[in-house]
Amino acid sequence: MLVFSFIILAVVGIDQASKAWIVAHFALYESVEVIPGLFNLTHLTNNGAAFGMLAGQPALWRQVFFIVAAGIALVCIWIAQRSFSPRSRAYTVALALIAGGAIGNLIDRIRWGFVVDFLDFYLGQSHWPAFNVADSAITVGVALFIGYNLLFDRQ
């Protein structure tokens, strides 16, 4: 449980610190090219889910939905942690990354009503939707969980 808690706190800390830095140093929609033709830091907000889904829904409905969904997800992660972690530390790491990311984005939604995004990858004119550290932790955690399950733990 110590590793699980440490990873969650690290993800939340890095996520919130990076978002605070972006908000403090960039105007909304301001962009700085970091790697020409590949990566910018761009201050954006997302009041929807992944890729802006549900962004057009009424604000109160959207906020309640995301807060309840995050709460349910965190309870499920806690239950999964108790079930899967004894089988492998990979599950502990994966679930902690997912939980940390969910908490990081939940803090934004409660605090501001939207999520701060700033990692902007692109090739030419084709941009991947901007994301943040919490989104990255969730993605890596899900990939690790599924990958470990498919490759090593077929029970």
For the annotated catalytic residues, the residue numbers are: 117, 135
Exposed, middle or buried: residue 146 (CB in 10 Å: 0-12, 13-18, 19+)?
exposed
The residues with which 71 forms a beta bridge, in sequence order, are none
Count Cα neighbours of 106 within 13 Å in the Cβ-side half-sphere: 20
Beta bridge partners of 119: 41, 131
Instruction: Check the CA dihedral 85-87-89-91 and report its sign.
Output: negative
Tell me the two tokens of residue 128: 């991947």
